[in-house]
Chain A
């Protein structure tokens, strides 16, 4: 890949270049992230071939989180961005965690009662 922006058709000389506006991802880094994501996809499939109960779900989620982090940091540029954008993402995840945590705690609390009720109704 050549980076020379020889043809600057719509550009005027006085204007700033892209680097002044946002970080341009080096090609090698993009390819590296892409290949890593493919390897991790294979790893997450391979992890189901072995029985690691009760860790299988945790491993699958950990691999997914590594993949998601790579996508967010490099494909989505967060690593080079103003940190406020990362803060927005983290805010979303924090509230998602509160939502999931609350709903799970609550439903697990009354689930045994539901099961007892259903068993009592079975003939």
Chain B
């Protein structure tokens, strides 16, 4: 069909699907589709935010106790890394719009690098919790020697020392905090992975010279998805790490 169009129309444009009248219309339609997808993503995470809200409203003491096991500093660094990656992604979209192919590829690579950094830090955090037995409720079995996060003691708030913890101490059902923690950060981590896949795809297409100032939709749509992943983390960070 493509070949047919090509013959029939000397002004055939390979990046403009035939059912659109203009690049602008094509872009607007694609973008709206992406926003509808993002709506479903918000509702997907909404279920977990709901679990969080219900559990925290009913058992605030568990959240105050358990959040001392999360490293605020690593959480804050990861927030900054993700914001930086959103910035480079927005810059990438701009570069695509302005036909700066090299800059587009640089920005996409930087975004990928930030994503790797984020997952690396996340891995360090998960590993720490794995070693201390701070896992989801069915496998929640804190190791006796683990001090409730040396981080909490070092944390500059100083207002509340972390409660001492021996094996089996702490409020009942403290493991459910970690179920919620692992589900929320885990689902978010999966989204980061998926985003990295999408950005790699865009990077390959950019290298092949697919994009131009009239055809940058895919860069923009992947960017929207990436910003949503950042947006969700913006809420996860204070809700999980910064409980007072």
Chain A residues packing against B (C-beta within 8 Å): 3, 5, 7-11, 14-18, 20-22, 24-25, 27, 30-31, 33-34, 37-38, 41-42, 44-45, 47-49, 51-53, 56-57, 60-61, 63-64, 67-68, 71-72, 74-77, 81-82, 84-85, 88-89, 91-93, 95-96, 99-100, 103-104, 107-108, 111
Tell me the complex Cα distance, A99–B54, Å: 11
Establish whether residues A24 and B98, one from each chain, have CB atoms under 8 Å apart when the complex forms: yes
Establish whether residues B80 and A38, one from each chain, have CB atoms under 8 Å apart when the complex forms: yes
The answer, yes or no, to whether B207 is at the interface (CB within 8 Å) is no
The answer, yes or no, to whether B193 is at the interface (CB within 8 Å) is no
Establish whether residues B23 and A37, one from each chain, have CB atoms under 8 Å apart when the complex forms: no
Tell me the complex Cα distance, A93–B98, Å: 33
A8 touches which one: B72, B213, B228 (CB < 8 A)?
B213
Establish whether residues A34 and B84, one from each chain, have CB atoms under 8 Å apart when the complex forms: yes
B231 touches which one: A38, A72, A95, A100 (CB < 8 A)?
A72
Q: What are 18 A-B contacts defined by CB distance under 8 Å?
A: A11-B213, A15-B23, A15-B214, A16-B23, A17-B214, A25-B90, A27-B94, A30-B87, A31-B87, A37-B86, A44-B242, A53-B244, A56-B244, A68-B231, A75-B90, A82-B32, A84-B32, A88-B36
Chain B count of residues within 8 A CB distance of the other chain: 63
Of residues A21, A96, A111, which shows the largest number of chain B Cβ atoms within 10 Å of its Cβ? Answer: A21
**Nearest CB of chain A from residue B14's CB, rounded to whole Å:** 10
